[in-house]
Structure 1
Amino acid sequence: MTAQPTDLPAGFRRPVLVTGITLPAHRLATVRDVFRAAARLLAANGHHQGDYCPDPFDRRTSTPHAVRPLSIVAAIRCVSSPQGDNPHRETPLSEAAVKVLAGRLEVDGEPAWNDEPLHLEAHVASWGDVEGRTTESAVAVLEAAADACGVAA
């Protein structure tokens, strides 16, 4: 038996890059899943204040939105978008998550004053934009919301 160019010694492993294979996107099914995934995304990339993400319209940078620091609303929308990478796309699941989170948060001691989706988004964004708000506190709020959804279910 002769050795072949593709034969490797026993126990020898080599990383292989395979292209052209499309993996199915992980589909989040519940608001709880969205909160957990958004918390992980913020923990990995950081919390951004003032807009969805740095350079939201890609005028100066071309890095994917999903690897930039994100606001809480942007993280929720990013993880619940079909490809898991678009903080600008609204889905029924992302809007349900924003509504649940807005009901849990108070800004200056006040709850959300309206049930309209834009007002709920603005309420959550206002909470995240408070001066000194850290990534850790945003992640903690998302984790607590996920835990509360788990208890309620």
Structure 2
Amino acid sequence: MATSSQTRSRVIPLHQSPQARPATVPGVYRAAARLLAVNGLYKGDFVPDAFDREMDVPHHLRPMSIVAALKCATSGDPHRTTLLADEAIAVLALRLEVDGDGPRYGGIFDLEAHVDAWGDVESRTTESAVAVLEAAADACEVAA
């Protein structure tokens, strides 16, 4: 039998249910919208202080860009992508216009840059980013 000190020093990982992550593009949009609503929209990079020079807050708890929120919704990490996150980014990029234009190229990095450019507009707020993600989720569900 483990003693009290042995029990306290042992780390028991939490169980993560397969349902904890979204499995559809609309689900990704809704999860990313919730992340942004809680953490806030960040402009200019995926998260503030991406190289941890000044902050020690985990990246998934920091304000984040729309692209980072989409990645975090599927992988738990705003820097790690999944096929589902890439699909959600691609579909969203085709819905957004920056200076009246859609994405210029179809590569995933170009699509990410387009979504980030939309999110980086000076007047863009967290609320507007959340609203766009929720509208995109609704549109995907109607189209399905």
TM-score over 0.5 for the pair: yes
Structure 1: give runs of 5+ residues left out of the alignment.
Answer: 1-18
Question: Pick from 121, 135, 138: which aligns with 1:144?
Answer: 135
Aligned: 1:27 with 2:21 = yes
**Where does residue 71 of structure 1 map in the other structure?**
65
Q: Distance in 1 between matches of 2:16 and 2:61?
A: 20
The Cα shift of 1:21 comes to: 4.7
Q: Distance in 1 between matches of 2:82 and 2:98?
A: 25
**Over 3 Å off, 4+ runs:** none
Q: Distance in 1 between matches of 2:64 and 2:112?
A: 14
The Cα shift of 1:20 comes to: 1.8
Question: Pick from 95, 100, 113: which aligns with 1:122?
Answer: 113
SS in 1 for 2:98: coil
Q: Is the 8 A contact 2:21 2:73 kept in 1?
A: no
The Cα shift of 1:62 comes to: 1.1
Bigger helix share: 2
Q: Distance in 2 between matches of 1:22 and 1:51?
A: 30
RMSD over aligned CA atoms reads: 1.1
Structure 2: give runs of 5+ residues left out of the alignment.
Answer: 1-10
The Cα shift of 1:27 comes to: 2.7
Q: What pairs up with 1:4-23 in 2 under 5 angstroms?
A: 20-23=12-15
Q: Distance in 1 between matches of 2:131 and 2:110?
A: 23
The Cα shift of 1:22 comes to: 2.0
Q: How big is each residue's C-alpha offset from its partner over 1:99-150, in whole Å with a ceiling of 9 and x where there is no partner?
A: 0000000000001111100100000000000011100000000000000011
Q: What pairs up with 1:91-106 in 2 under 5 angstroms?
A: 91-106=82-97
Q: Distance in 1 between matches of 2:13 and 2:85?
A: 28
SS in 2 for 1:142: helix
Q: What pairs up with 1:35-114 in 2 under 5 angstroms?
A: 35-81=29-75, 84=76, 86-114=77-105
